[in-house]
């Protein structure tokens, strides 16, 4: 039995950067190591705001990762059940096919298979699971006359044909679940990399730079205070001398 596939265009692919990644870029996070930071109050305000954004993004991504892991666990359980059920059904189908092989012979069975037209089409659309684009498969059967008569084949082949045809939706479902699992694993890994970058590089670097600027500004204020105090003392001495 043949199947034809219809897939969506490339425009359905997910934007890998995501909203969180664009926010990171927009706030200028993660680029401190390549820039000379100016120890000014304006820069301190900017960095503190960036730190708040980074922590919010870290929380959002951490929550997203937990949801992804939960979804992955659900699909892994479904995959295990589908695999167990499908293995038994496919083994049964192979048994029917083997009976047909023994009754008809290899050449006649292969010729019948070659002459069998496409009787089903697979349409592929895209659905989203926790911001992850995954393919959704749909099987459409169409009525076509069999390329052989009942006198040309055996009951075993008809039984194998009917059994394998009935398995196609289940096979398609198993393929869809497996693809979802791969997509979720990939998204979890990508999310974890961003979380690690925030947790171990960007946030600590921002905190360190904020501490440096705050310390520098405090030192400048102390120096300015001492300078003004000295100026005041000089002015008082001059007034006293007059």
Over residues 89-101, the pLDDT tens digits come to 999 999 999 998 8
Higher-confidence position of 240 and 204:
204
Q: Residue 122: what pLDDT?
A: 86
Domains and CATH numbers, the chain: 2-214 (1.10.287.3240)
Structure tokens at 216: 């520098």
Mean pLDDT of the chain: 83
Sheet of strand 132-141, all strands in order from the earlier edge strand to the far edge:
2-6, 118-129, 132-141
Strand partners, 136: 125
> Which backbone phi and psi does 100 adopt, to 5 degrees?
-65, -40
Percent of the chain with pLDDT over 90: 48
Please return the burial class of 219, using the count of CB atoms within 10 Å of its CB with bins 0-12, 13-18 and 19+: exposed
Judge whether residue 194 has pLDDT over 70. yes
Lowest-confidence segment of 105-114, 181-190, 206-215 by average pLDDT: 105-114
Question: How many CA within 13 A on the CB side of residue 169?
Answer: 4
Q: Which two tokens stand for residue 98?
A: 């083997």
Q: Report the pLDDT value the prediction gives residue 18, as an integer from 0 to 100.
A: 54
- Please state which of the ranges 16-30, 99-113, 175-189 shows the lowest mean pLDDT: 16-30
pLDDT at 5: 46
Secondary structure letter of residue 130 according to DSSP = T
pTM for this prediction: 0.72
Residues 9-24 pLDDT 10s: 444 444 444 555 555 5
Q: How far apart are CA 205 and CA 131, in angstroms?
A: 29
Give the CA dihedral 180, 182, 188, 194, nearest 10 degrees: -120
Do 122 and 3 meet the contact criterion of CB atoms below 8 Å apart? Answer: yes
pLDDT > 70 fraction of the chain, expressed in percent and rounded? 80
């Amino acid at each position: 039995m043949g199947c034809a596939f219809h897939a969506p265009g490339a425009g359905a692919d997910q934007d890998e950067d995501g909203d969180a990644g664009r926010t990171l870029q927009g706030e200028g996070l993660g680029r401190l190591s390549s820039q000379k930071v100016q120890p000014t109050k304006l820069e301190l305000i900017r960095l503190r705001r960036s730190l708040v954004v980074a922590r919010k993004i870290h929380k959002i991504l951490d929550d997203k990762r937990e949801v992804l892991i939960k979804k992955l666990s659900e699909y892994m359980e479904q995959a295990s059940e589908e695999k167990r059920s499908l293995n038994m059904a496919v083994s049964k189908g192979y048994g029917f096919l083997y009976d047909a092989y023994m009754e008809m012979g290899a050449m006649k069975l292969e010729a019948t298979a070659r002459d069998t037209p496409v009787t089903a089409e697979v349409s592929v659309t895209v659905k989203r699971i926790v911001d992850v684009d995954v393919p959704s498969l749909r099987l459409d059967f169409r009525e076509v006359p069999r390329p052989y008569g009942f006198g040309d084949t055996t009951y075993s082949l008809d039984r194998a044909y009917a059994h394998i045809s009935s398995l196609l939706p289940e096979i398609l479902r198993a393929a869809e679940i497996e693809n979802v699992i791969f997509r979720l694993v990939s998204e979890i890994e990508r999310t974890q990399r961003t979380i690690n970058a925030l947790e171990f590089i960007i946030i600590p670097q921002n905190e360190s730079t904020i501490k440096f600027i705050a310390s520098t500004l405090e030192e400048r204020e102390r120096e300015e205070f001492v300078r003004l105090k000295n100026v005041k003392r000089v002015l008082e001495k001059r007034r006293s001398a007059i």
